[in-house]
Amino acid sequence: MEAAKAQLDLAESSHRRMKSLFDDKSITAQEFDEAQARVKTARATYEMARAKRRQLDSKVRQADEAVAQTKLQASFANVTAPFAGTVTERKAEPGMLASPGTPIAVIEQGGAYRLEASVDETRLAKIRPGMAVRVRLDALDEELAAHVGEVVPALDPDSHSFIVKVDLPGVAGLRSGVFGRALFEFGERETLAVPASALLHEGQIDRLFVAEGNAARGRMVKAGARSGDMVEILSGLSAGELVIDHPPQGLADGARIEVRP
């Protein structure tokens, strides 16, 4: 286009000079006609270049639209989750058609776990959202401080219980499906308790050893609730008795022991 425009400008400039000479009778009509013809030729060449440019611009726009459409189709191959997490289940295989509404993967959101506990209906009036709860998870072997996130008031007519959803803090190693226990505090009371490490489990029987003078005496006891590292003793033990913690394997009733301060 620039070359055609330059030729047109040169032809028009020459035409103006030739016209001035023609008016002064300094050139022949043939020479002036040739100058006019060069102007027409240059203008036609320039218009042809402009038309070709418009055609190319149209093709460029079509190509840009095709690129945008291709990018849109390529974006369908990327599935982005609304949160960070871990894929726990894949429901689609390569080559399958992904239709709207059809799940292709199950993602477990990190740091958003909760424990669903079944609680007896007699406790419904005492549990409320935001209430502090202690949670024990068998998989982690530790106790966590949590709080009640939601209370489902619908009761199960078979078990006479309702569901309490406890929001758990983010801890390493926590996964969905692990078993846990929620401990709700409804008040305080005095109780007789011993270290859990002092209790021996033999089938359905709980035993422990107490120190009577220089001898170990076995006692069958009835254990109650556990709180932290302590276990409540409902019967079989009196307050003030010396309990042997971590009794050695093979310790028998009447075995001689040495009590040290």
Tokens 């929001």 belong to: 167
pLDDT at position 195 is 93
Same domain as 206, residue 176:
no
pLDDT at position 198 is 92
pLDDT at position 110 is 72
pLDDT at position 234 is 92
Tokens 């035993």 belong to: 207
- Confirm whether 83 is domain-assigned: no
- Confirm whether 56 is domain-assigned: yes
Are residues 198 and 206 in contact, defined by beta-carbon separation less than 8 angstroms? Answer: no
- Confirm whether 151 is domain-assigned: yes
> Which pair of tokens denotes residue 67?
């690129």
Last residue of a domain, one of 184, 205, 234: 184
Digit-coded pLDDT (tens) for 53-95: 999 999 999 999 999 999 998 887 788 888 888 888 899 888 8
- Confirm whether 102 is domain-assigned: no
Same domain as 122, residue 146:
yes
Number of domains forming the structure of the chain: 3
- Confirm whether 55 is domain-assigned: yes
Same domain as 178, residue 121:
yes
Tell me the CATH number at 228. 2.40.420.20
Same domain as 65, residue 9:
yes
Same domain as 231, residue 172:
no
Is the model more confident about 139 or about 131?
Answer: 131
* Residue span of the structural domain in which 198 resides: 193-243
Same domain as 177, residue 212:
no
**Is 202's pLDDT higher than 90?**
no
* pTM of the predicted model as reported, rounded to 2 decimal places: 0.42
Digit-coded pLDDT (tens) for 227-248: 778 899 999 999 999 999 999 8
Same domain as 207, residue 147:
no
- Confirm whether 88 is domain-assigned: no
- Confirm whether 259 is domain-assigned: no
Q: Within a 10 A sphere around the Cβ of 72, how many other Cβ atoms?
A: 9
- Confirm whether 212 is domain-assigned: yes
DSSP state of 173: T
Residues 6 or more apart whose CB falls under 8 angstroms from that of 84 comprise 109, 110
Closest residue by Cα to residue 171 from 152, 146, 148: 146
Tell me the CATH number at 125. 2.40.30.170
Tell me the CATH number at 60. 1.10.287
Same domain as 170, residue 203:
no
Last residue of a domain, one of 26, 53, 74: 74
